Amino acid sequence: MPTSEEATADRLTSNQCWDYIRRAQFGRLAVIVDGQPEIFPINFAVDHGSVVFRTAAGTKLSGALSGNTVAFEIDGYDDNLSSAWSVVLKGTASLLADNEDLLASEDLPLFPWQAGTKNAFVRIDPEVTSGRRFIISNVARRNVLRGMGLYTE
Amino acid sequence: MPTSEEATADRLTSNQCWDYIRRAQFGRLAVIVDGQPEIFPINFAVDHGSVVFRTAAGTKLSGALSGNTVAFEIDGYDDNLSSAWSVVLKGTASLLADNEDLLASEDLPLFPWQAGTKNAFVRIDPEVTSGRRFIISNVARRNVLRGMGLYTE
A83 forms beta bridges with A135
List of domains in chain B? 6-147 (2.30.110.10)
Closest-CA residue to A121 (of A130, A113, A110, A132): A110
Taking 50 as the threshold, does the pLDDT of residue B4 lie above it? no
CA distance B93 to B66: 9
Give the closest of A6, A37, A117 to B70, CB-based: A37
pLDDT of residue B47: 87
Q: Which residue of B has its CA nearest to A131?
A: B40
Residues 6+ apart with CB under 8 A from A70: A29, A30, A31, A63, A64, A90, A91, A92, A93, A124, B37
Residues of B in contact with A28 (CB under 8 A): 28, 39, 73, 75
- CA-nearest residue to B139 within chain A is A111
A/B interface, count of CB pairs below 8 Å: 162
Exposed e or buried b for every residue in A126-139, given b needs 16+ CB within 10 A? beebebbbbbbbee
pLDDT in tens, B34-82: 899 999 998 898 988 999 988 877 888 888 888 889 999 999 888 777 7
Q: Report chain A residues whose CB lies below 8 A from the CB of B73.
A: 28, 39, 41
Least CA distance to A69: which residue of chain B?
B36
The predicted-structure confidence for A100-149, as pLDDT tens digits, reads as follows: 566 566 555 555 555 555 678 899 999 999 999 987 767 666 766 665 55
